[in-house]
Every structure is written in structure tokens, then in C-alpha cells.
Amino acid sequence: MAYLCVPGPPHLGALVVTALPTVDLTVYPLECDAFGHLNHASVLALFERARWESLARGPGMDLFHRTGVAPVVRKATVDYRAAAFPGDVLRVETVITHRGTTSWTARQTARRTRDGSVIAEAEIVFVCVDGAGRPVPLPGEVARVLGPRSTAAHAPQRIAVDGAELAVEVRGEGGPVLFVHGFPFDRTVWRHQLAALSRWKRIAPDLRGAGESTAPPDGYTIARYADDLVAVLDALGVRQAVVCGLSLGGYIAFELLRRHADRVRAVVLCGTRPQPDADDARRTRDELASLAADRGTPAVGERLLSRLLASATLVEQPEVVEQYREMTRRMSVPGMAGALRAMRGRPDSAPLLSKIRVPTLVVVGSEDQVSPPAVAEAMADAIPGARLVVISAAGHLAPLEQPLATSRAVMDFLEGLT
């Protein structure tokens, strides 16, 4: 087993909704360190310069001034990927990945034009403030430039499976990667990875009973979920895919390896465990199913909130908390009860681990209370050749809480497949 700990400062955001004009910038000697490399601090300045250049080529640099507000950086996360040198021309792409009432998030990527190498990626969270520094709603003109408010997801395809119709988001071309969400979520938990992994064909279904998929009254089992996913691959003409499973999605990935091993090219097991539920966990599943029936799915989401998200996420990333709540609100009561029953009755996958013969990446948040790092490490040790990545400052939802670090781990894994 190979082991890697990936730091991941907090990130806020959702889906790509608007692209600003692309800008080419030259690296100057004064921006470089004593070794002739583009200085890390200069990268932030370069990204800021690109944002202003984008405004200059669009609505004008005075957009905020003329509307009486100012953009203030709340958080900045930078992933430094490769060195740049004086004279390099960097093409900076800026997309707005989330727009709320008073805030928005920009994702920026700097690529060297001569070879296409990614030099750095950034996620910048802005808050709109007035002259007194108080957060205020985005003025209409600013909102129009930033694009529509973030929606749940790209328009999905509808694919009929046994007894249900699944909403399936399909993006791009290349090697297929199947993203399987956890409980009580939907495909949008993978929103950042779906946007970032542009070199691959990304397939993200809502499981039966979740998100925009239909919710039959019964028939929820781990085996049924796995068969549903094979039906999705068949409908899309995909023979084999890399399977990325989060939590419940990991249980389903194990079932795919048992029932349909020939359809799995490689596997990413994120925030999951191989063991079945103990008796106390089964009782908790039953209690949550009753709570959903009595008070609705949001009540279950609130019950689980502090257990599923890292403590820092709860305090510092209100947008992530709201995205979590939106997903639980979208889940149907039959779908939630069915998923709880499916997890309650899932088989023991521990005996399967030593038999896994496909490349495997295990990802876990450093603060995951449901599937702690020790469980993930033991699981990776038991899988031949598996690699373990621990995502710092993430709980059970690393793909949403720390998207840059999680996307980088998955991308590195995918790039290493031969």
C-alpha cells in the first residue's frame, strides 16, 4: 500500500455556470524567486490580474465601482502543479462555479501555452460588500455578469432500469468514470470532480429514490443498486468504467466487484468501509427510517449533519452545509428508507478485499467519523497494491468539503492507469 496525506484548505463552490474571457499573461522576472521559478505568492497576483483583465474585456473594470459595491476575497485555495519561468506565457481560464445571494466562487486554471502544462489551479471565494464592509446582495448588473444562481446539476439523461427511472449526468469524452454517491445525497456531491476531471467521460447517476430519479416504494438492496448501474453502463454503450464510490457508493462498488467484476476497470473507495453494520448500527438505521417517515428527509439530514461534516466545515463553509441540506431535501422518503434498509442488510465485504485485482485508490477524510482513517488504512492494507490518500480537514464528504485535494487525488490515480 502506498500512503499519501493531502492538505486541503476549505473550498466553497458548486457547478461551473459562467466562463469569463480567457487571458494570456507573460511571466516576468520580477515575479520569480532566486531560482528563476514563478514565486508562489506571485501566482495569486497573476490570478488576480487575469480576473481584472477578464473584466476589462467584458463589462469593464469599473463594474463594481459603478454599482457601489466591492468584491472581497473570503478564502483562497491554490494548488501549485508545476514550475513556470520568465518568458512563459500562461493562459488563465476563469469560470464562476457558484453564485449565491451575496457571494460567488471562481475557479481559475493557469496553463503554459507552449506545452499545455497546468501550472496552478485556484478556488477563490468572494463576498460582495458595501462601503461599510457589510455583505450585501449582488447588484443586478454584477449578477448578470456572474451568471445565473447555481442549480442542482447539469440536465441529466433519463435511463430506465428495473422498476425505476434514473437521472444520469454524462459529461465529456475519454475513459469512462462512474461516480456513485453516498447517503443521504445525490450525484451533486461529486459536482466539483465532474467539473474538474475534464479529460474523462464522467457518468454520475442519482440512485433510485435519490435526487431526480424516481422512487419506487420498495426493492432497495445493494445488489439492486449495482444492477441499476450496470444497466446505466449498458444504456450508454460503456463496457467498462472506473468506479468511484462514496460511502454507500463504496458498498455498491464492492457489489459490482462481486457481481460484475468485468465491468470495473479500477475502483476509488471514498469514505467507506467493508464491514457490515453491527447491531447498534442496524438499530440506528431503523430509527432514522422512522424519523424520515414521521418528519421528512430533512430531519434525518439534520440528525446526521455534525457526524458527516468536519467541525471546520460546519463553522467555515456555510455554502457546503447548505449544499448538504439541499441534497437531503431532494431525497424522497421511500428512497431514504430504502437506502437505510439496503445498508442495514449489506453483506460483509471484508473477505472480498484480498481478491480485488483492479487498481484501487482509497480516499478518506482526516476527520471522517463514519469511516475513520484507521479503517481506511486497514482496508487499503488488505487490498493488493491499493493506495491510500488522507484528505486533511475533511469529514465524511471529502469530495464536497475539500474538492481540490480530492480531485487531485482522483486525477493522479486516473492518470496512472495504463
pLDDT mean by block of 10 residues, the chain; 418 residues:
39 45 93 93 94 86 88 88 94 85 88 88 90 90 76 75 94 95 95 87 96 92 98 97 98 98 98 96 96 94 96 88 91 95 96 98 97 97 97 95 91 91
The set of residues, in sequence order, having a beta carbon less than 8 Å from that of 280 and lying 6+ positions away, is: none
Q: Tell me, yes or no, whether 133 and 174 share the same domain.
A: no
Q: Domain total for the chain?
A: 2
Q: Is residue 90 part of a domain?
A: yes
Kindly report the CATH number assigned to the domain that includes residue 203: 3.40.50.1820
State the Cα torsion 220-223-229-233 to the nearest 10°.
Answer: -150
Is residue 238, in this structure, part of any structural domain at all?
A: yes
Closest by Cα among 100, 65, 303 to 183: 303
Distance CA 416, CA 418 (A): 6
Residues 185 and 43 in one domain: no
- Please check whether residue 8 lies inside any domain of the structure: no
The one catalytic residue in 24, 33, 162, 234 is 33
Q: Identify the residue whose cell numbers are 488488505.
A: 382
Domain shared by 104 and 192, yes or no: no
Based on the domain organization, do 95 and 209 belong to the same domain?
A: no
Specify whether 201 is located in the same domain as 316. Answer: yes
Model pLDDT, residue 4? 42
The Cα 309–Cα 10 span in angstroms is 12
Residues 87 and 140 in one domain: yes
* Residue 135 sits in the same domain as residue 245: no
Verify that 320 and 219 share a domain, yes or no. Answer: yes
What does the pLDDT read at residue 74?
Answer: 85
pLDDT at position 290, please? 96
**Residues 363, 336: one domain?**
yes
Q: Is residue 105 part of a domain?
A: yes
Q: Does the residue 13 lie in any domain?
A: no
Q: Which structural domain range is residue 132 located in?
A: 18-146
Query: Greatest CA separation found in the chain?
Result: 66
pLDDT score, position 83: 93
* CATH assignment of the domain containing 129: 3.10.129.10
Cell of 78: 491554490
Residue where a domain stops, chosen among 116, 146, 176? 146
Q: Which letter, b or e, does each residue of 357-371 get, where b requires 16 or more Cβ atoms within 10 Å of its Cβ?
A: ebbbbbbbbbbbebb
Tell me if 202 is assigned to some domain: yes
10 located within any domain: no
CA torsion, ordered 346, 351, 352, 356, to nearest 10 deg: 160
Chain position carrying cell 505568492? 41
pLDDT of residue 21: 83
Say whether both 166 and 49 belong to one domain: no
Return the pLDDT at 15: 37
**179 and 92 in one domain?**
no
Q: Is 228 a catalytic residue?
A: no
Tell me, what's the pLDDT at 404?
84
